[in-house]
Amino acid sequence: MLADRADFAHDCGVDPVLPDFTLAPGESGDVLVLTGALVVSTAGPIDTRLRAITTPITAIDLGGVTAIDTVGAWLCWRLSRDAGAPIRHADPQAARLIAALRDVDDGRQAETVRKVRPWMRVAGNVGATVIGLVFGAVGVLGFVGQMILATGTLLRRPRRIRWRALTHQMELVGINALGIIGLMSFLVGVVIAQQGAVELRQFGAEIYTINLVGRLTLRELGILMTAIMVAGRSGSAFAAELGTMKLTEEVDAMRTIGVAPMEALVLPRVVATVVMMPLLGVYSAVMGIIGGAALAQASLGIPFFTFLVRVRLVVPTYDVWVGLIKGPVFGLIVALAGCYQGMQVKTDAEEVGTRTTAAVVMAIFTVIVLDAFFAVFFTEVGWG
């Protein structure tokens, strides 16, 4: 019982007398005599012991109870109800509380959420995920359709284009990302040049480090890493912003005022990302090449500007086009995932979190899958 005492002692300044009970034998059963303070802070342990009573109870005596609150009253009432035993010697406070509980008690068991066995839960989750994927695909398709319709409306009525929202989003997605994307790309350029040089040196072909860095950054890595960074920075922000706005009914308020959320919220974000992504991709590639050139100057003995001039000679123009074509597509995917997931939020704060996660995962996964398709496609059409 020492542990029980410690449980309530640290919480409240009050130090109630620990409750206890005795069973006084009577003619047709026992009389349950309760003593001490029957309050919320002491109810836990005695409740467990009271539940363990198996002998029939004919009456409940509260004469020795020093303090009682609704939890204590509930214990008395439950025992009295279940055993059909009258309550004796209740003081006015106890009688009032027990009467109040008797009045509201609907006699039903407290409903609890049923526990599902783990293997059932696994099967259930798999099913829910599959169904979710199917409905999700239909939902995304519907969302894209709405977006195309909204774009059509805006193109017919260009005065309704929200330039301020668009430029604001372009700043958030593009300008504010310059620092982190530049630093990341520079470092990746350094790493590629370093690792490439180590391998190529074995063939005495260190000079091909330039080809490696130039082609890889312009064609693949620049835009891919930018897409991943933008998905993490802006895609998640879209989902969280729109999701919170859905929760606070801001989106509903907009619709009642006559502002289409598609036009005011979704399209500026999507267009801004589609426009900024290729720009950021090129910027990222350039920073990667500068990183490679810096490494080459420092440890390979290739002068910085020689490196840059060589890049122009060894990288075919279509590599730049490959990067530029992928840019808007990846931008569309990242923005679409963020906005779609955000607009699906309906219930609570937790959903904002799961939808934001889903937006980033969906964006990065789709970007990488599409990148593989692009790689095969461009090689097949002769842009290898």
Partner 1 sequence: MSASDPADTRWPIRVRGLCNRFGDHLVHQDLDLDVRRGEIIGVVGGSGTGKSVLMRSIIGLQVPTSGSIEVLGESITAARDDADIGIRCRWGVLFQGGALFSTLTVAENVEVPLREFYPAMSEELLAEVAHYKVLLTGLPGDAGVKYPAELSGGMKKRAGLARALALDPELLFLDEPTAGLDPIGAAAFDQLIKGLQQTLGLTVFLITHDLDTLHEICDRVAVLADRKVIAVGTIPELLALDHPWIQLYFNGPRGRAAAAARSGAA
| Interface residue with partner 1, options 347, 372, 373, 376 (CB under 8 A) | 347
Helix (H, G, I), strand (E, B) or coil at 301: coil
Q: Based on the shown chain and the rule CB under 8 A, indicate whether residue 96 belongs to the binding site for partner 1.
A: yes
Q: Based on the shown chain and the rule CB under 8 A, indicate whether residue 39 belongs to the binding site for partner 1.
A: yes
Q: Based on the shown chain and the rule CB under 8 A, indicate whether residue 167 belongs to the binding site for partner 1.
A: no
Q: Based on the shown chain and the rule CB under 8 A, indicate whether residue 8 belongs to the binding site for partner 1.
A: yes
| Interface residue with partner 1, options 76, 79, 97, 228 (CB under 8 A) | 97
* Least distance CB 48 / partner 1 (angstroms): 6
Q: How far apart are CA 229 and CA 364, in angstroms?
A: 9
Q: Based on the shown chain and the rule CB under 8 A, indicate whether residue 253 belongs to the binding site for partner 1.
A: no
Q: Based on the shown chain and the rule CB under 8 A, indicate whether residue 91 belongs to the binding site for partner 1.
A: no
Q: What φ, ψ does residue 56 adopt, rounded to 5°?
A: -65, 145
Q: Based on the shown chain and the rule CB under 8 A, indicate whether residue 27 belongs to the binding site for partner 1.
A: no
Compute the Cα dihedral for 344, 347, 353, 358 and give only its sign: negative
Q: How far apart are CA 159 and CA 157, in angstroms?
A: 5
Distance spanning both ends of the chain, measured CA to CA: 78
CB closer to partner 1 out of 4 and 371: 4
CB closer to partner 1 out of 97 and 296: 97
* Least distance CB 248 / partner 1 (angstroms): 11
| Interface residue with partner 1, options 2, 52, 110, 376 (CB under 8 A) | 110
Amino acid at 280: L
* Least distance CB 108 / partner 1 (angstroms): 6
Q: Based on the shown chain and the rule CB under 8 A, indicate whether residue 49 belongs to the binding site for partner 1.
A: no
Report which secondary-structure segment, H or E, holds 99.
helix 92-104
Q: Based on the shown chain and the rule CB under 8 A, indicate whether residue 12 belongs to the binding site for partner 1.
A: yes
Q: Based on the shown chain and the rule CB under 8 A, indicate whether residue 1 belongs to the binding site for partner 1.
A: no
CA–CA distances in Å: residue 306 to residues 130, 290, 321, 346: 54, 12, 24, 57
Q: Based on the shown chain and the rule CB under 8 A, indicate whether residue 104 belongs to the binding site for partner 1.
A: yes
Q: Based on the shown chain and the rule CB under 8 A, indicate whether residue 66 belongs to the binding site for partner 1.
A: no
Angle at Cα 255 formed by Cα 150 and Cα 356, nearest 5°? 75
The answer to whether 235 touches 363, Cβ cutoff 8 Å, is yes
Contacts of 192 (CB under 8 A, 6+ apart): 212, 213, 216, 217, 221, 288, 292
- Contact residues toward partner 1 (CB under 8 A) are 4, 7-8, 11-14, 39-41, 43-45, 47-48, 51, 69-71, 74, 78, 93, 96-97, 100-101, 104-106, 108, 110-113, 346-350
